[in-house]
Amino acid sequence: MLRLIALVSFIGIMFQNCAPTRFVKPLAKNQNAISANLGGPLIHFGKPVIPIPFTSFMYGRGLTNSTTAFASVHTTAMLYGNFQTDIGVCQRLYKHDSLKFGITLNPAVNMVYDKWNNNFRAWPQLDVNVYKDILKDKAFVYIGLTNWFELSSKKAHNEVQKNHALINPHIGLTYNTKKWGYTLECKFLQMNSKNKPNVVDYVGIQKKGAVGIYLNFCRRF
Amino acid sequence: MKYLIVIVTIMFLSSCLRLDDNLYNLTDKITEYKLDNYTGEQDFILDNSYHIPDSLIHVFTLSSKTVNESSAKTIYAIYIGQISRIQTDTVIMYCHGNKWHMDFYWQRAKLLAHTSGKNKYGVLMIDYRGYGLSEGSPSEDGLYADADAALQWLKLKGLSDNRLMMYGFSMGTAPVCELTNKSRSMIPSKFILEAPFASADVMANDGSGLNMPGSFFTNLKIDNAEEIKTINQPFCWIHGTNDNFLNINSHGEVVYKNYHGIYQEAHRIPGADHGEIPVKMGFDNYLNTLSTFIKK
């Protein structure tokens, strides 16, 4: 049974956190971008520590200079017969040109449909990021929160859903070339949940949650 | 874009990965049952006062077949007690948890054989298919078929329904609820659930923190929380308040609350984690609790 619970936790984390923040800075108007990302919670795999290699692909387009729309396909979830996508926008809220920092908000909706039982679920997501340009604007660092919201008042067996917000802090670095962007992001997943004892040996903090590492490769055109 | 949609659709429809096969914990392989001589990990080890004479320990095989199988699987069983007395004894059918094999659970079965006194009741335990030395691969249907094969054997040896007690621990609560709710070979007179899980949906809820259905990761249909609603037999529930694997609130309390039969009693064991209940209760207290319930 321990194994079972560990695997369920694994999948729970997978659904929520198989991708980094989609956009920290909006694209320019009419600019397009596609990205592939790889990464997930860190686990001890024998002696080495590795991230679980979750994958997803995303497409984004700049609607204005401060608003970018995006949609994704989660390929790892798909391998398990679940069609998962997150669709949303990145909206710049504030920008300080001389101090070279800004604040953005990513409202999105995560939708999952499983082909086995035709179950469908949707969860709103709201990422908040603060970024600071560095290296003569070739790169930026950012910190933020990835927030998932459960709107349902009930859960399995008609029990009351008490937890309506899942908050995962993250920090990241993006380096841009003319066409490409490379991002390394680190999240603290399920920071309020115990991670031990567990068959999957997560690397957490103070025996809680899991540290997730994500790589994102973005091509703009 | 058209091609992308086609590729995504094909990928989605053709994908077939499920966690089901990984849910069963069979990692400790054995070549023989060692029982008291087993030196691997165990939840606890009883002292010599709980010794069972070899003459009362019977290791044997049973044939078990699910509805969809063409041939039967050979599974292993251990009966503690005099087989000739099954015609008159009360018997506890012990359905063990998800871990490894009967050697791991031997101490638990031995402890149960002291309920109401040493060898007062018979105890039957099996290794489900794929566990221990039993043939085959685990499956949900297999769990039920294997437990029912054990009940068929008890019936053949003369056990009557009114002397059959079903005891399930953790994953073993699934065959107990299934065979009590939808009786096959025998109708248990009472049942005991230690650290039961509610359903795959609850596990998905707990794992994700969201109202996520279990079908996102498994095809398991085990649903004790629903199944127990239509069980009428007297019910004893034991759960540790510190169960880190099957949370007492999201799993145990839901199962307990959903029972609407003729009698129920709850034992919430302070500080006990999954697998720690007999130790945290104290063996005497644990056995007295079971004995009182069975004699009621």
Residues B209-240: tens digit of each pLDDT: 788 888 887 888 889 999 999 999 999 999 99
What pLDDT is attached to residue B170?
A: 95
Pairs of CB atoms within 8 A across A/B: 147
Model confidence band, residue B18 (pLDDT cutoffs 50, 70, 90): low
pLDDT of residue A16: 59
Please state, for a pLDDT cut of 90, what percent of chain B lies above it. 78
Does the domain spanning A2-215 belong to CATH 1.20.58?
no
CB–CB contact B209 A166 (8 Å):
yes
- Please determine, for residue A2, whether its predicted confidence score (pLDDT) is greater than 50: no
For residue B23, is pLDDT > 80? no
Q: How far is A85 from chain B (nearest CA, A)?
A: 12
Q: What is the average pLDDT across A12-39?
A: 84
**Nearest residue in A to B208, CA atom:** A12
Mutation pick from B8, B17, B22, B210 vs chain A, by most beta carbons of A within 10 Å, is B210
| Mean pLDDT on A102-128 | 93
* Chain A: residue whose CA lies nearest to B200: A8
Q: Which amino acid is at B154?
A: L
Return d(Cα B57, Cα B124) in angstroms, integer. Answer: 10
Partners of A171 in the β-ladder: A143, A186
Tell me whether A117 touches chain B (CB under 8 Å): yes
Distance of CA B218 to the CA centre of its chain: 19
Query: How much is the average pLDDT of A115-125?
Result: 91
Q: Name the average pLDDT for chain A.
A: 86
> Which residues in chain B touch residue A80, judged by CB atoms under 8 angstroms apart?
15, 17-19, 216-217
Q: How confident is the model at residue A199 (pLDDT cuts 50, 70, 90)?
A: very low
Given a cut of 80, whether residue B137 has pLDDT beyond it is yes
Question: What are the pLDDT digits (tens) for B78-96?
Answer: 999 999 999 999 999 999 9
**Shortest alpha-carbon distance between residue A11 and chain B (Å):** 7
Largest CA distance in chain B: 74
| Measured torsion, CA atoms of residues B282, B91, B176, B245, in degrees rounded to the nearest 10 | 20
At A165, is the pLDDT very low, low, confident or very high (cuts 50, 70, 90)?
confident
Domain with B223 in it: what CATH number? 3.40.50.1820
- What is the predicted pLDDT for the residue at A197? 45
Percentage of chain A with pLDDT > 90? 54
| Structural domain harbouring B202 | 2-295
pLDDT at A70: 96
pLDDT digits (tens, 9 = 90+) for B249-296: 989 999 999 999 999 999 999 999 999 999 999 999 999 999 999 998
For chain B, the three-class secondary structure string (H helix, E strand, C coil) is: CHHHHHHHHHHHHHCCCCCHHHCCECCCCCCCCCHHHCCCCCCCCCCHHHCCCHHHEEEEEEEECCCCCCCCEEEEEEEECCHHHCCCCCEEEEECCCECCHHHHHHHHHHHCCCCCCCCCEEEEECCCCCCCCCCCCCHHHHHHHHHHHHHHHHHCCCCHHHEEEEEEHHHHHHHHHHHHCCCCCCCCEEEEECCCCEHHHHHHHHHCCCCCHHHCCCCCCEHHHHHHHCCCCEEEEEECCCCCCCHHHHHHHHHHHCCCCCEEEEEECCCCCCCHHHHHCHHHHHHHHHHHHHC
CB contact under 8 A, A12 and B204: yes
In angstroms, the separation between the Cα of residue A100 and the nearest Cα of chain B is 37
Q: Which sequence spans correspond to the domains of chain A?
A: 2-215
* A206 neighbors A45 (Cβ within 8 angstroms): no
Flag whether pLDDT at A117 surpasses 70: yes
Q: Does A175 score more than 70 pLDDT?
A: yes
- Which of A164, A112, A9 shows the shortest CA–CA distance to B204? A9
Average per-residue pLDDT in chain B?
A: 92
pLDDT of A1 higher than 50: no
Q: Considering only CB atoms, which chain B residues are within 8 Å of A155? A: 201-202, 205, 211
The residue with tokens 């039920």 is B144
Q: Is A165 on the interface with B (CB under 8 A)?
A: no
Pick among A8, A120, A161, A192 to test the B interface (most B CBs inside 10 A)? A8
User: Which tens digits make up the pLDDT trace of B148-168?
Assistant: 999 999 999 999 999 999 999
pLDDT in tens, A49-91: 877 778 899 999 999 999 999 999 988 888 878 888 999 999 9
Say whether pLDDT at A14 is over 70. no
Closest-CA residue of chain A to B216: A114
Predicted confidence (pLDDT) per residue in B175-219, tens digit = 999 999 999 999 999 999 999 989 988 888 877 778 888 888 788
Say whether B209 and A115 touch across the interface (CB within 8 A): no
Substitution target from B22, B194, B208 for chain A, most A beta carbons within 10 A: B208
Q: How many domains does chain B have?
A: 1
Average pLDDT over residues A101-118: 92
Does the predicted interface ipTM exceed a cut of 0.90?
no
pLDDT of amino acid A209: 79
Output the pTM of the full model. 0.83
A1 neighbourhood in chain B, CB within 8 Å = 25, 97-99, 170-171, 197, 245-246, 274
B219 at A interface, C-beta within 8 A: yes
